[in-house]
Amino acid sequence: MGEASERRILVTGALGQIGMELLRALSFKHGSNAIIATDIRETNDLEKMGIKFQKLDILDLEGLEDIIKNFKINEVYHLAAILSASGEKNPSLCWDINVNGLLNVLELSRKYKYRIFSPSSIAVFGSDVGKIALQNSLLNPSTIYGITKVTGELMAEYYHSSHDVDIRGLRYPGLISWEVMPGGGTTDYAVEIFHAATSSKKYTCFVSEETRLPMMYMKDAIRATLELMDAPSEKLTIRGGYNLPSLSFSAKELSEKIKEEILDFECEYIPDHRQEYANSWPDDVDGSMSEKEWGFSLEYDLDLMCKEMISSLKNN
């Protein structure tokens, strides 16, 4: 990939929790003219950012090819997906969008030779992994979402080794951000809790207080994404999904940290069906391969993230 001005970037699923923040970062880095955002939903919100938007169902192969051809795309951030809790409600849709959507992006990259970012997730792991997931821990997920993510990682490795596709992936932990509400995942409680704390000051958490999961502030996740996409190809030995250095805290530790800023905040815990998905995931991940191969490290700890989340929500 050459100079910044030469990038011609397509973002799929751009209106989601990650997409909206990634668009801002890409636009800052490469200019809004370099980007076309797409999603199955409509929006007028991107006009003010100067970013072109086109409605696109990722399963529409012809529509996808038209955009790639017309805009001479050379980089795709493929974010269109169904997340864990929504996936369990509709496994067939989850498979279709997460696997066949990625297949469309991969197949066209053989012809048009663009670089791809395709996120994986800590949901690739299952309960046989134990508390800390290593890069090469077993991948035996118990959710359909996790199964689609393992499949996506295998497809990435295959298209890279057999068809020379330059695809890169990260196993994002639960991502915490304030701009856009998360879209039907299990880690959504760690975002909802901040919105509740800064408005009604009461939150009913849908996982138990001792539930501990790998998490990350969105700014670190966006930086990881951009750094991985800029890393020299020859340094990357993993194409499906790198574990990332992550935070690891329980729901109770999170609410206690919020209480340090919002003294009268109250949190109760009433686990629902999402507890089972959370229980199947590790408490933490070993992200040392990301540190070693492309130099990633975290900037936000729990304290800093909580302070920034609360002040951003209060000021917006």
Nearer to ligand SER, 174 or 245 (CB): 174
Residue 186: name its binding partner from ligand NAD, ligand SER, none (Cβ under 5 to 8 Å by kind). ligand SER
Nearest to 78 by CA among 127, 30, 12: 12
Contacts 24+ apart (CB under 8 A), 131-135: 131/282, 131/283, 131/284, 132/282, 132/283, 132/284, 132/285, 132/286, 133/214, 133/243, 133/282, 133/284, 133/285, 133/286, 134/243, 134/285, 134/286, 135/238, 135/242, 135/243, 135/286, 135/288, 135/289
- Do 23 and 49 form a contact (C-beta atoms < 8 A)? yes
Residue 84 sits in the site that holds ligand SER (CB under 6 A): yes
For residue 278, give the DSSP letter: H
Site stretch for ligand SER (CB under 6 A), options 61-69, 93-101, 126-134, 184-192 = 184-192
Q: In the bound complex, what is the minimum distance in angstroms from residue 192's beta carbon to ligand NAD?
A: 12
- Do 176 and 218 form a contact (C-beta atoms < 8 A)? yes
* Catalytic entry in 114, 145, 203, 217: 145
The pattern of x and - marking residues 214 through 253 that bind ligand NAD according to CB under 6 A reads ----------------------------------------
Nearer to ligand NAD, 4 or 125 (CB): 125
Residue 118 sits in the site that holds ligand SER (CB under 6 A): no
Structure tokens at 259: 């209480």
Among 10, 11, 18, 64, binds ligand NAD (CB under 6 A): 18
Both ends of the chain: CA-CA distance in Å?
A: 37
Site stretch for ligand SER (CB under 6 A), options 181-189, 200-208, 262-270, 295-303 = 181-189
Q: Map the footprint of ligand NAD across residues 152-181, applying CB under 6 A.
A: 172, 174-175
Contacts of 254 (CB under 8 A, 6+ apart): 190, 193, 302, 306
Residue 236: name its binding partner from ligand SER, ligand NAD, none (Cβ under 5 to 8 Å by kind). none
- Do 180 and 244 form a contact (C-beta atoms < 8 A)? no
Is residue 277 part of the annotated active site? The answer reads no
d(CA 225, CA 172): 10
Structure tokens at 156: 């990435």
Burial of 51 (0-12, 13-18, 19+ CB in 10 A): buried
The pattern of x and - marking residues 125 through 154 that bind ligand SER according to CB under 6 A reads --------------------x---------
Nearer to ligand NAD, 67 or 79 (CB): 79
Residues near ligand NAD (CB under 6 A): 12-13, 15-19, 39-41, 56-59, 79-81, 83, 97, 119, 121, 172, 174-175, 182-185, 187
Q: Which residues are catalytic?
A: 145
Residues near ligand SER (CB under 6 A): 83-84, 121, 123, 145, 174, 185-187
